[in-house]
Copies of this chain bind each other. A is one copy, B any other.
Amino acid sequence: MLNSNKESVVLDFKHPDGKALFLRLARQADVVVENFAAGVMDRLGLGWEVLSAENPRLVYGSGTGFGLTGPYRDLPAMDLTIQAMSGIMNATGFPDRPPVKAGPAVCDFLGGVHLFGGIMSALLQRERTGQGQRVEVAMLDAAVMALASALGVHMDGEDAHMPPRTGNRHPALAMAPYNVYPTSDGYVAIFTASDRHWDSIVRVLGREDLLTNPDYASTPDRAARMEEIDAMVEAWTRRHGKDDVLAILTKAHVPCAPVRTTREVVNDPHLASREVWAEIDHPRRGKTRVPNSPIRLHGSAPGLVERPAPLLGQDTDRVLSELLGLSASELAALHAAGVIEPAKS
């Protein structure tokens, strides 16, 4: 899904010839990216100091869980542990149930795309300085930033009123309607951030009588009647399908969105019309769809999928031959010694 357009070369770093080949490749490279545990590349003799001495223009990106420094440096880092330690998990879920992780691997992706942005920044800076540099992104640091609003409240010492998690309700329980509501065929998210939204949804619900009722006049008034208002909205949404709710509320200018299942997302007409997916023929998976980059460059190099993700090591011989000039007999000897993969058939 995520390795389209790449090439795959497999070298054995435990073999001195494998390390030597990697050093030769790094001498020609613009960027090395690694996500080993902190210190592993140094112990292999392929760390930042070694590679930058060989190639001062090299940009060296390190993606870690907890960073290259600090007391948690060596803790095991996976999306699940970072969600726990970043505060994301504690902020997610219903108040009467335990904390729950965000379903997708948001910390993996937040870490990865921050590292990408940092590497591009270093390449741009190299245009000015002629020098590469090390770029470090810890998944924990990147994940923590997504809680900026909640953290800001704590930094200012105003945290008394913030519940740890509020399900699908407003984080400070300050607005209603603001929730996810059941429909006849799934769920919809609806929120009303203004008096204008309230006026509109009340008309949709056929409750124009509330428009002149002072008990519902202000946002705090309505927040105080959250349970009652949510029940009223739900009584209406239960009688409709989620796409009907979307159509009706969008026409009324009330922010609304259906809760899409994964199956609906992969078949979504909007994503299809935007060519979010590329149809490919993968040597192992067959005809399938993989994502184009969500970063759309409208200039000369848009970054679309040109070829499927490589099989492991499929480009080893060609890359070593083209970039390092290895001969067929040299490649055969390296295969025979198990330094490079896949083994020659």
A interface residues, Cβ below 8 angstroms from B? 1-2, 48, 66-67, 69-72, 75-76, 78, 80-94, 97-106, 108-110, 113-118, 120-125, 127, 129, 131-138, 140-142, 144-152, 154-156, 159, 162, 164-165, 167-168, 171, 180, 182, 187-189, 191, 250, 255-266, 268-271, 273-274, 276, 285, 288-291, 294-301
User: Inside 8 A of A165's CB, which chain B residues have their CB?
Assistant: 103
30 residue pairs from A and B, CB less than 8 Å apart? A1-B148, A67-B274, A69-B273, A70-B273, A76-B256, A80-B168, A80-B189, A85-B268, A99-B259, A100-B167, A100-B168, A103-B150, A104-B147, A113-B142, A118-B295, A120-B120, A120-B121, A124-B124, A129-B300, A133-B299, A133-B300, A136-B296, A140-B270, A140-B271, A142-B294, A151-B291, A154-B262, A159-B262, A162-B262, A164-B262
Given A276-B141, A297-B122, A99 and B180 contact (CB-CB distance below 8 Å):
yes
* Cβ 8 A contact of A110, one of B110, B135, B156: B110
Q: CA of A296 to CA of B36 in the docked complex: distance in angstroms?
A: 17
- The reply to whether A135 and B295 contact each other, CB–CB distance below 8 Å, is yes
Give the secondary structure class of A's interface. Answer: mixed
Number of copies: 2
> Would you give the shortest CB distance from A57 to chain B, in whole angstroms?
12
- The reply to whether A261 and B87 contact each other, CB–CB distance below 8 Å, is yes
* Cβ 8 A contact of A90, one of B255, B259, B270: B259
